[in-house]
Chain A
Amino acid sequence: MTIEPEAAPGETPGDLIAELRFPARPARLKQVRALVRRSAAACGCNESWVHDLVVAVDEACQNIIRHAYNGRRGDIVLTILRDGKALVVRLVDFAPPVDVTRIRPRPLDELRPGGLGTHFIHELMDEVTFLPPPPGAGNLLQMTKRLEPS
């Protein structure tokens, strides 16, 4: 199955920088981080900007692996686009649709081990939105971060 970057109706897809379809497994995240790092660095952004983007994408992939697929097998399609002065990252999965209203960062004044990933994503990205997924997919998460060339 081919996922087109212009999957979400009404959205400007921008220029395709990279696309990767990979099994939703923890062992694949290193490869994903490397691709995101290379793609962001190619846009001329500084090291800390690139690191922040890598963290956000990695955490979003983790959420798909842990919560959307929740032990089931499946793929994730990562698309990185450049839309003017922003980098747009889309993650499509084929898991059952998630209840978006239940995904929110937890208060940081509670000292407990879990639940930090969603906070990181919202802290590091300028926009985080679930869009209507393409036919046959479960969820489409779009994250946007304004470029800050070094």
Chain B
Amino acid sequence: MTIDVRTEHGIAVVSLKGDIDLQYSPKLRKKLLELLGERRNLLVDLAHVRYIDSSGVASLVEAFQLARKHGTRFGLVGVSTAAMRVLQLARLDRVFSIFPALDDVFGAEGWAS
């Protein structure tokens, strides 16, 4: 798994690539919590995620909860088929803010800076 972080329109965009499994989810969790600690709106791009397991999903849930606590935004973008399947199994597709593409986020209420 690789993690790439950039800023667009004031939002921290975290792009993930590869397999998010028990080996790598602690690294993802650490990065997400670190960025949220800076009180930033955060987007996780899952377009290039080939595989995500329950530990990876747990990292997203923890980040979502921390963002809510801080009053900042947390969302997912470009969710791959494999990732969406797992989110649906966890019924989290109804919980997370999910956007098809980055352009959809910048026009959304509460996200544009």
Contacts and interface: CB of A to CB of B under 8 A. Distances in A.
B90 A29 contact: no
B89 interface: yes
Given A55-B86, A113-B59, A119-B89, A65 B22 contact: yes
A58 B85 CA distance: 15
Given A113-B59, A116-B54, A62 B85 contact: no
Interface string A82-122: 00000000000000000000000000100111101101100
A61 B110 CA distance: 41
Nearest to B88: A123
Nearest to B25: A26
Given A51-B82, A119-B90, A114 B58 contact: yes
A123 B89 contact: yes
Nearest to A117: B54
Interface string B22-48: 110000000000000000000000000
Contact of B90 (A26, A33, A54, A116): A116
B89 to A, nearest CB: 6
Nearest to B29: A113
Interface in B42-62: 51, 53-55, 57-59, 61-62
Interface of B: 19, 21-23, 51, 53-55, 57-59, 61-62, 65, 81-82, 85-86, 89-91, 95
